[in-house]
Structure 1
Amino acid sequence: MRKQPRKPRAHKQQAAPARKRVRADTTPGKLARKQARADNKVARRRAKAANRADKANKAAKKQQPIPSFLGPNATGTDSLELAERQLTLLVRTTAMLAQENTREAPLDRSSYLLLCTLDKKGPSTISTLAAELCLAASTVTRQVATMCAAGLVSSAAHPNDRRARVITMESHGKELFVAERKRRRGVLRAITGSWTDDECEQLAELLSRLNTSLGQLFEGAPLAYEL
């Protein structure tokens, strides 16, 4: 028997491009799915990295020390938020009352505080008044000059220091100071008329502590007078 002649190699070479075309037709779909899987992996990695960074930031914030002048409750508690709101309302209300009572008050606030200091400490120098009221010496000097012109206080040379001046309350200043103190205490009594003695005492204590903390914040020691 005669053997069948072998097919020429050219036939294989012609058939190969056909198989390649079939594979080429399916390649775009495979590449798209592969790219989608890669994109998903990248997205998951980024999400995990962002989550780790967020946790690290929260941990760092918890470890940050609270400034000492803010006190032990400076952590955003409900009580602190309530106090902040109440202080804001208090400042607004006192500003409104001050506008209404300006005509009735025999003394302005600055003069009243200076006379309060002189009433408690007696004749004092400018530097002493400035330290007690947590004000600059230049500010106190201007206020004292205005009060001297109004006859509320007098200024004399210090017996032991020629550069210093001793400020003394005059009788006219004493008279107006007593009248203003009486008016202020009357307003406070009207506000706290329904309060008990213990509540008024607690208010005075907390206000004194608040002024002390504010003085520490501004590196001073503001005076706290009994009303």
Structure 2
Amino acid sequence: MTASLKDLIRDIRREAERADFPVDREVYERAGKEPAEPILFAGTLEAPACIFGRDLGKDEVKYGQPLVGAGGKLVREGILRAFGTPGDPVPRTREDLEAALKFAILTNTVPYKPPGNKAYADSVKERFRPFVARLLVEHWGGRHVITLGTEAFQWFARYGREDDFAGIGKSDQRFKAAFPCRLEVAGQSGTGPVSKELIVMPLPHPSPLNRKWIPRFPALLDERLREVRRAHAG
């Protein structure tokens, strides 16, 4: 981990300790983890794809990585289908699926677990937005972000074209569309702002409870990752 990335994680922790916000302390305690310690991302910062979710679940806290539970398993399987070597054994365990981290980074709108299964309030998302944006702009080398669910997709709305997010972004057609976005963060150590162009590619949330979309999720993810591969190859 580079010094600047350690600084980012330190800054997130300081913000978490600055003022209380809802955290599922019982889950952190069972896992033997500190509630103030962020679980910011897993994966390879040079990877072409970012998978962007809502927030952490109990499995994510236990293993210290985003997207480890049932939905994360589908995501990691898809990444290996897209980027793995043909003929590789089918991944069957959580450890096997760790290989997906070579080809993507996995992160969330907030690097903490909320109580229960409720999404964080907008006020909490805004507290941690600058830090997540720094990860995407300053540390990750890719440009294609695949969002999972409405909360993750709408996190990017302010960075894109308002008409796109208010129009096709409200329909099921968004799962085949791409949304150009421009993120800008304040430069560190007194430097000017830093910006980055991203392509946001929304997908439904891969929850087993999402009965409308869960049967179609693997195929939708495969198509999104094919788009990333084509763009990266070009």
User: TM-score under structure 1 normalisation?
Assistant: 0.24
Higher normalized contact order (CA 8 Å, seq sep 6+, divided by chain length): 2
